[in-house]
Amino acid sequence: MTWAPTDSSGKTDELDSVRSSSPLAPSSSPLDDLQSVAPMILNVELRDRGLARYDGPKRLVAGEVLQSTAQLVQITEWSGEQLLTNLGCPLRTHGDLAAVDIKRLTRCQTFLRFLSRLTGLVDVVPDRRAVVIECAGLLKTTGRDADGLVELVESGDFTPVDYIRLGEIGAAAELARTIAAQGATPVQDMATTGPFGEAPIVHLSTARIEMYIADMHDALGNEVSQRIKAHLERCEACAEAVAYCRAHAAVPEGVDLPLPAELARPTPTPR
Ligand SMILES: [Zn+2]
């Protein structure tokens, strides 16, 4: 799969344009960095011209950025435009690529590589898309850079990445936002802190438990299904929730299961 440029007319050679009168402000947001290379992602002609003019190191990083983008496009089954839109980047097909510096490209690549890694943890397209959307949201709400995002999603005993590995993208994002809101203090075991410290945390949402019980492995994804199985062997709370749902599985279709409130959805933080 390749990118589909929105504008391949190439009538204007923006590379020859006068550099922007205001130099690019230093930015810590990977999305700003990505925005600066959006024209290269969306406009094949501009990309080829840009790459040809970059010196060795810059060409190398720019090539990696484009490769990572192509990878994300492929596994999300989005077009380049859709990917950028969902990341919250304006769809600029022209820009001064000579002004794109190697620092920006490198930061951009750090973010894209990390996004590819996270997205690759889940098997099915809707989950992969959710990972991209939630990561973009996290960058905006937390104001973190790529390294900050890495740190955030790997914080705690049961980390946001652990949630993603179970396919629970929404819970992963919610936990990450909670950790970010708590500041730099690393979250220890959220299950054993707070006034309701003893309440066991169910990591799986009711929807996923029901899919798991119904053997909907295609919808869950095979890798994710395997991880859920392994998780149930060592997480008592989730195993109990699955047992509860199994016990109520004989209820005729169309009848709502009266689930306890704590099973209604994953609760990263005790309330
Ligand atoms: Zn669990």
Mean pLDDT of 187-207: 67
The set of residues, in sequence order, having a beta carbon less than 8 Å from that of 231 and lying 6+ positions away, is: 166, 203, 204, 238
Look over the chain and give the mean of its residue pLDDT values, rounded to a whole number. 80
The rounded Å distance from CA 225 to ligand 1 centre is 13
Residues 6+ apart with CB under 8 A from 237: 200, 201, 202, 203
Q: How far is the CA of 235 from the centre of ligand 1 (A)?
A: 5
State the distance from the centre of ligand 1 to the C-alpha of 162, rounded, in angstroms. Answer: 10
The per-residue pLDDT for range 98-151, each reduced to its tens digit, is: 778 888 889 889 999 999 999 999 999 999 999 999 999 999 898 888 889 999
More confident residue, 256 or 134: 134
> Between residues 248 and 6, which one has the greater pLDDT?
248
Is pLDDT larger for residue 228 or for residue 30? 228
Residues with CB under 5 A from ligand 1 (ion): 203, 235, 238
CA of 266 to the centre of ligand 1 (A): 9
Task: List the structure tokens of 259.
Answer: 């689930």
Q: How far is CA 177 from the centre of its chain?
A: 13
Q: What separation in Å is there between the alpha carbon of 29 and the centre of ligand 1?
A: 33
pLDDT for residue 266: 57
Q: What are the structural domain ranges in the chain? A: 26-120, 206-250+257-263
Give residue 10 CA to ligand 1 midpoint distance, Å: 53
The alpha carbon of 236 and the centre of ligand 1 are apart by a number of angstroms equal to 7
Ligand 1 centre distance from Cα of residue 250 (Å): 24
Reported as a single tens digit per residue, the pLDDT across 38-76 is 888 888 888 888 888 888 899 999 999 999 999 999 999
> What pLDDT score was predicted for residue 128?
97
pLDDT of residue 24 exceeding 50, the answer is no
CA 251 to ligand 1 centroid distance, Å: 24
Ligand 1 center from residue 145 Cα (angstroms): 29
Give the up-direction half-sphere exposure of residue 83: CA atoms within 13 A in the CB hemisphere: 30
Give the distance (Å) from ligand 1 centre to CA of residue 259: 17
Report whether pLDDT(159) > 80: yes
* Model confidence, pTM: 0.77
Average pLDDT over residues 212-235: 95
In the prediction, which pLDDT does 33 show? 84
Contact 183, 256 (CB under 8 A): no
> Can you give the pLDDT at residue 26?
46
Q: Which of 9-18, 166-175, 186-195, 209-218 is the least confident region?
A: 9-18
259 pLDDT band (50/70/90 cuts)?
low
